[in-house]
Amino acid sequence: MAFHSRNRSKLSDVARMAGVGNATVSRALNGGKNVSSEKMERISAAIDELSYRPNRVARSLKGASSGMIGMIVPSISDTFFSRCAEAVEAVAHEHGSLLVVIPSHENDETIISGLRQLLLHHVDGLLLAHSTPHSRELAAELRGLRLPVVGIDGPLTELGLPSVVCQNFRGATLATEHLLGHGYRKVIHVQVKPALYTMCERARGYVAAMKAARARPTTEIIANREDALAVLKRHVGAGAEPFGIFAGNNLTARYLCEAIRLLGLAVPQQVALLSFDDFDLADTLHPPTSVVEQPIDLMGRTAAKILFERLAAAVHGPEGRPTPAIMLGPRLVLRESCGCDPVRVRKAGQDDADRASDSLLAAVSGSG
């Protein structure tokens, strides 16, 4: 019996090779309902033999699942969002789904355009990473959707959509309290893009910690290395006492690290630094930079899990009432830039590694 070439195999070819009808193959591809295990094995073998790949878009046009989910992120070059997308992709793969990622550059018009492109491809659900205030147009677009939507990094609470975010307020409080605990009487907060939800929450956490310590909060907004240089020059002067800096995110920390190097400042003797968000090479700088680490992988996996749960339950569109965001906790990763003793930092790191090793050995032993 002749079949189509491998790269042009059709569903009917699979059906003929497996000795079943087209409808049986279709049911097998959509979950296997009412298909016996013996037929499933034959169909699976035929699919492998023919290298058959179902046309996702054609399936979606017939009302079936397209097997694709969309994700819109501010930037695919940002470490946070690229790691988040990788975590989402792993969950999507477990569900036999393809992830399509579109960058928005934090622009509402670009988000709406990307959203409409994804709808043209009949994605089954959407993950939206967006932390600026929503425009009226974007809010209306999201309210009108009839597919599951889950937010990441920024809440979609007022739209009645579930979201997964980090406890930014808590992380900022921990960072500020830690710097104050080293004895710095002055701790300033430096950030970029103050309108972002994440930046607002971190600024709130910083101010709350400073007021609780009866210290005066000072927030500086920068946009580049030159701004960082200007900020440091204002706060570093002849006879000025050492002070701490809480950097609002990894981009801010990179600008500050460059400015500190150019001014020849000693860290932490003259200025201590602690950043929200880890960043590449942070642990290799001299001295290594202390950070507030977000649970990025967990955020991505949790958001994707919620999306697929809503798909399975056929929960589409906003719920019509505010939906509290799921808040995941950050942790302090202490190195030396904040003023921590290098020996203690190394010992703490070794203790963490030993505990992780013990847990792994216990898990392996238990499975045996």
Bridge partners of 245?
A: 188, 273
The domain tally of the chain equals 3
The DSSP element (H or E) to which 221 belongs, if any, is: strand 218-221
pTM as predicted: 0.77
Q: Which domain holds residue 263?
A: 168-294+331-343
Same domain, yes or no, for 131 and 267? no
Report pLDDT for 318: 72
Give the pLDDT of residue 29: 67
* Residue 82 is assigned to a structural domain of this protein: yes
In a domain, residue 114? The reply is yes
Q: Are residues 215 and 113 in the same domain?
A: no
- CATH number for the domain spanning 160: value is 3.40.50.2300
Rounded Cα distance between 282 and 279, Å, is: 6
Q: Tell whether 63 is covered by a domain.
A: no
Judge if 206 and 335 occupy the same domain: yes
Please give the pLDDT value at position 301.
98
pLDDT of residue 30: 58
Going across the sheet that includes 243-247, the strands are: 218-221, 187-191, 243-247, 271-276, 290-293, 331-333
Confirm whether 352 is domain-assigned. no
Has residue 289 been placed in a domain?
Answer: yes
Same domain, 15 and 80: no
Same domain membership, residue 201 and residue 106: no
What pLDDT, on the 0 to 100 scale, is given for residue 6?
Answer: 41
Q: Is residue 359 in some structural domain?
A: no
Predicted confidence at residue 267, as pLDDT, reads 97
Please name which of 319, 338, 297, 311 lies closest in space to residue 95, comparing C-alpha atoms.
Answer: 311
- Structure tokens belonging to residue 75: 């930037």
pLDDT of residue 55: 57
**Strand locations in the chain, DSSP E?**
68-73, 98-103, 125-129, 149-152, 163-166, 187-191, 218-221, 243-247, 271-276, 290-293, 326-328, 331-333
Same domain, 87 and 147: yes
Cα(136)–Cα(318) distance, integer angstroms: 16
338 and 213 in one domain?
yes
Which CATH number do you get for residue 50? 1.10.260.40
Pairing between β-strand 290-293 and β-strand 331-333 as defined by DSSP bridges: antiparallel
Quote the tokens at residue 274.
Answer: 């602690």
- Residue 161 and residue 12 share a domain: no
Quote the distance between the C-alpha of residue 80 and its chain's center.
6
Q: Are residues 211 and 248 in the same domain?
A: yes
> Tens of pLDDT along the chain (368 residues)?
444 444 467 788 888 999 998 888 877 765 555 778 788 778 878 887 887 766 554 554 445 567 899 999 999 999 999 999 999 999 999 999 999 999 998 889 999 989 888 887 889 999 999 888 888 899 988 988 889 999 999 999 888 899 999 999 999 999 999 999 999 999 999 999 999 999 999 999 999 999 999 999 999 999 999 999 999 999 997 678 999 999 999 999 999 999 999 999 999 999 999 999 998 889 999 999 999 999 999 999 999 999 999 999 887 767 667 788 999 999 999 999 999 987 666 544 445 444 444 444 444 344 33
Write down the pLDDT at residue 365.
41
The pLDDT, as a whole number, for residue 359 is 43
- The answer to whether residue 362 is domain-embedded is no
Q: Which residues are registered as beta bridge partners of 189?
A: 219, 246
Q: State whether 40 and 139 are in the same domain.
A: no
Specify whether 82 is located in the same domain as 110.
Answer: yes
- Are 189 and 308 contained in the same domain? no
Q: What distance in Å separates the CA atoms of residue 357 and residue 182, rounded to the nearest whole number?
A: 31
* 59 occurs within a structural domain: no
Question: What does the DSSP 8-state code read for residue 316?
Answer: -
